[in-house]
Structure 1
Amino acid sequence: MSRRVALVTDSTAMLPPDVVAARDIIVVPLQVVIGATSYDEGVDPEATPETIAAALREWTPVSTSRPAPSVFLDAYRRAHDAGAEAVLSVHLSSQVSGTYESAQLAAREAPLPVLTVDTLQLGVATGFAVLTAADLLDAGKPVEEAKGAALARAGATTSLFYVDTLEYLRRGGRIGAAAAVLGSALAVKPLLTLREGRIAPLEKVRTTARALSRLEELAVTAAEDRQVDVGVAHLAGADRAQALAERLGTRLEANLDGRDVIVGEVGAVIGAHVGPGMVAVVVSPR
């Protein structure tokens, strides 16, 4: 343990293994169940985005589950044993997963103080909040300040995404208000966002091309004249995501100040709920 405060997150934050290692971050895996077999995301080689996309297309039953509190408690104990004096545990939205609740339950039994953060975000957006916390902790700032910075970063972040169909979100019970607004209008291409941690409808468009164009425009609008980090995520949509990232990199060149637009494929857990073809854009003010 290179710092006095251990930093914990979950596998949905889309942090690459090299970043996790370099920033001394502990990642607790969520589980994805394909058919009758459960896998740890980011740990078991079978739980890949490609496997999930194929299973969904073949109508193989796919579900996800949060880590048990005991898994978090084990992570907190290991941090304590490695010399940490406190833990900051930063996670995906409590409105779409019980992961944050598991972290809270484990914190009550931990052998050291644990501060938990509900980012009310998903994927890359949670990852940006984690990295902001890492920056402050590495600079020797108090854990309370790092928690506040992570919450502020997540709260200022705009998350937008397109799905080919609402069917996968409907199956997983994750569309909330989107179900009421869009109903059975599955012929349209829905654009969605996160509001107060819940997936909510944003716009309805008629074609995929128009949807991706709108994602681009909305992302540029969200950036305003601020310095931002931008991430583009996808499931089985690498070409779409890369093309969108290149356009955003050009249009937001001044906002990025030399930083790249991050492009990555979502993990198995988020992928199980959004389905193949999903493309998301995250705009996060620095």
Structure 2
Amino acid sequence: MAVVVVTDSSASLPTELTDELAIAVVPLHVLVGDRTVREGIDPIDIDYAADSVTTSAASPGELREVYERALERSGGDGVVAVHISRQLSGTWEAGRQAVRDMDASDKVLLVDSLGAGLATGLPTLAAARRAHAGSVLDTVFEAAVAAATRARTFVLVNRTEQLRRGGRLSTAASFFGSELVTKPLLQIVEGRLELREKVRTRSKAYTRLVAAAVDAAGAEGAAVAVQHLGAPEAAETISGQLRDLSPGIGELIVAEFGPALAVHLGVGAIGVVVVPGGCA
């Protein structure tokens, strides 16, 4: 058989890729009033600015069920589970509890992606491609860890209030002052979302976002992902600029943020993930 790769729905991977590489996806939860909705499974109609909307991690029981099915499907070859940063969600910790409760825990290896969105998705792809090629469990695990370690993530949001309210942004960002006259450019550092810089206008913020991504990509080639929430034209423009300014990009994915991340980022958010060296 072959090693099976698992991730969670925050990874935002296009369905065609998860289907092609047989990646198992565990849904995170969006809490809308008194309803709990499974991302990617249940229909979701959300006012992303509402205080009553929040998110929660997958439970140990849900994760264990998926891990056990994946292990059975692998024929005993093993499972690599790549999850959203433990600094941003309780999913990785729930996964660790699920593994502890399993009889074959040595066959299920967890990876903290140190990121979110396609910063989780690209390391998942790196692992799944190794698994698809027939690599052994340790090699698949190491591919995910290496891609997660190399990844650089930059996020532009209109306001940081939703991130601060949900506890996803370092309190160091409180020195922003009025966000009505600035556009916060954030980055993920060691799994934490932190301020990179503040920019006066949206157009200048896009320029700084692209410059940061090009610098991270370097000259040796990279895999790149652009994500957005309700800003497809901006995402396409940024993708084109990245192609022009960094011709070594070997893979570029454009996708929308899923609801579990969108709740915290707000409409208009744009993110760029760069994995130098790619995810082959």
- Structural mapping, 1:180-195, within 5 Å: 180-182=174-176, 185-195=179-189
Corresponding residue for residue 138 of structure 1: 132
Corresponding residue for residue 106 of structure 1: 98
Aligned-pair CA distance for 1:79? 2.2
Corresponding residue for residue 269 of structure 1: 260
Corresponding residue for residue 203 of structure 1: 197
For residues 225-263 of structure 1, give each alpha carbon's deviation from its aligned partner in whole angstroms, at most 9, with x where no partner exists: 12101111011111111111111112222x125x4x321
Contact 2:6 2:25 in 1 (8 A): yes
**Unmatched runs of 5 consecutive residues or more in structure 2:** none
Seq. identity, %:
38
Contact 1:35 1:60 in 2 (8 A): no
Contact 1:177 1:199 in 2 (8 A): no
Contact 2:147 2:275 in 1 (8 A): yes
Aligned-pair CA distance for 1:123? 0.8
| 1:30 pairs with one of 28, 34, 50 | 28
Count of matched residue pairs: 274
Aligned-pair CA distance for 1:184? 5.1
| 2:249 pairs with one of 243, 249, 256 | 256
Corresponding residue for residue 172 of structure 1: 166
**Unmatched runs of 5 consecutive residues or more in structure 1:** none
User: Using a 3 Å threshold, how does the CA distance of structure 1 residues 110 and 209 change in structure 2: closer, same or farther?
Assistant: same
Corresponding residue for residue 89 of structure 1: 81
| 2:7 pairs with one of 9, 12, 17 | 9
Corresponding residue for residue 117 of structure 1: 111
Corresponding residue for residue 157 of structure 2: 163
Aligned-pair CA distance for 1:8? 0.8
RMSD over aligned Cα atoms: 1.6
For residues 5-36 of structure 1, give each alpha carbon's deviation from its aligned partner in whole angstroms, at most 9, with x where no partner exists: 22111001111112111101110000001122
For residues 141-172 of structure 1, give each alpha carbon's deviation from its aligned partner in whole angstroms, at most 9, with x where no partner exists: 22112111211111111100100011111221
Secondary structure of 1:239 counterpart: helix
Corresponding residue for residue 273 of structure 2: 282
Aligned-pair CA distance for 1:197? 0.3
Contact 2:164 2:171 in 1 (8 A): no
Looking at structure 1, the residues matched to 195 and 204 of structure 2 have their Cα atoms a distance apart, in angstroms, of 16
Contact 1:34 1:60 in 2 (8 A): no
Structure 2 residue identity aligned to 1:101: E
Moved over 2 A (4+): 79-84, 177-187
TM-score, L = length of structure 1: 0.91
User: Using a 3 Å threshold, how does the CA distance of structure 1 residues 80 and 152 change in structure 2: closer, same or farther?
Assistant: closer
TM-score, L = length of structure 2: 0.93
